[in-house]
Amino acid sequence: NEGQRGAGVAYYNSDGSINNTTIEANYVLSGYSGYGVHAYSGSDLDINNSVIIRNYKNYAGNSGQGGGVNYSASSGTISNTLIAYNEAFTGSAMYFENANNINILNSTIYSDESSDGWDGVIVIANSDVNIENSVYDVYQGYDRIKIFGDNSSLQISYSFIEDGQASIVDWDSYLADGTLIWGIGNIEENEGVGGYGPQFQNPLEDNFTLKYYSRLIDAGDPSSELDPDGTVADMGAYPL
């Protein structure tokens, strides 16, 4: 699909949810935002058990925010959702601007060399975002979580964050704006045993299930809902 705001799905001043849905191969016109999903102007949108993948910018130029999702002056929870291989000029995976009470739970955010993003994989601008039991895995070393604005707050716990706190910067490549709350239970790229990275089965084939020896298995918040097999929650969208 081609569109302006939210070529795949757009919510304007509305409440709702997206469940068990794949949003793929959408693109916006030059200068617009929210290629896959765009919630704006006071919306409250939950995204559950979904896949937001390969949404892209079909133009040359330095504009456009939120290749996967864009929340502007809105709120909502993203849970058990894969956001992968999306591209945008700013915030190739996710872009939040003046957004409050954003919760990213049990989800996987992935970016590889095909995910074009000049400024950040996740961008948080004067927004309040909480990430828990989730995976943030990127290919390029300069792809970052960017947070700016004195009113921004990012809280992360029980999640895999490539490069850890070093991956969270502002526009000048160091954390100066907003508040970062680095909670307990987080795993960084080179910590522990079990190999580097999350150890997905086969990202090239869109298989983001964890391998049996991944450090992320049973590494989620022990107080959160158990996995279907009755064990402690794994990190990411797909429990083993």
**pLDDT, mean of residues 147-176:** 81
Are 236 and 107 within 8 A, CB to CB? Answer: yes
| Residue-level pLDDT at 9 | 93
| Nearest CA among 212, 173, 216 for reference residue 192 | 216
| Residue-level pLDDT at 63 | 67
* Strand runs labelled E in 66-224: 69-72, 76-79, 82-84, 94-97, 102-105, 108-111, 122-125, 128-132, 135-138, 145-148, 153-157, 160-161, 168-169, 179-182, 187-188, 200-202, 207-210
Cα–Cα distance, 212 to 63 (Å, whole number): 41
| Nearest CA among 137, 103, 134 for reference residue 233 | 134
Among 55-69, 82-96, 188-202, 204-218, the least confident range: 188-202
Better-scored residue on pLDDT, 51 or 178: 51
227 burial level (CB within 10 Å; 0-12, 13-18, 19+): middle
Mean pLDDT taken over the chain: 87
Distance of CA 78 to the CA centre of its chain: 9
- Percent of the chain having pLDDT more than 70? 83
Taking the C-alpha atoms of 115, 35, 209 and 111 in order, what is their torsion angle to the nearest 10 degrees? 20
| Residue-level pLDDT at 173 | 53
Backbone conformation region of residue 214, classed left if phi is above 0, alpha if psi is from -120 to 50, else beta: beta
**pLDDT, mean of residues 58-66:** 70
Non-local CB neighbours of 108 within 8 Å, separated by 6+ positions: 81, 82, 83, 84, 134, 135, 137, 198, 208, 236, 237, 238
Supply the pTM of this predicted model. 0.92
Distance of CA 86 to the CA centre of its chain: 10
